[in-house]
Structure 1
Amino acid sequence: MFKKNIILFILGIVTVIVGAMLKIGDSIDNTDVILAIGLLIEIVAIIGLILFYKKSKT
């Protein structure tokens, strides 16, 4: 479970970076969509990591 959350977290970061790069390049109209997907993945990963951390502490 922990590994899955870390992979999701890294995937989210990569997606956000790619989205930001495309936004700078401004070559695609769907950059906002890519950034939104990246942020969604980030939120899910962060929530997952927090939940895992709380579980491992108890």
Structure 2
Amino acid sequence: MSGAVWDAGRCWRCEADDVPVIWLGPVQTQEHGAGPFAACEPCIRRLEQLVETHHMQADRSA
């Protein structure tokens, strides 16, 4: 993620503490409203793979 600001914190995906994370955006829940969704580099790579797969499957069904 070029130009991104990394801070030490907790990854909201793998729950690793005190790792470099980047804020990806808000996450919304029914009971508690919005919270800041941050993830570490390995989790961001996995999320990117999931998004790529999603778009590849959507392209096939179109």
TM-score range, shorter chain: 0.3 to 0.5
Greater helix share, structure number = 1
Which structure has more relative contact order (CA 8 Å, sep 6+)? It is 1
Question: Normalization by structure 2: what TM-score?
Answer: 0.41
Question: Normalization by structure 1: what TM-score?
Answer: 0.44
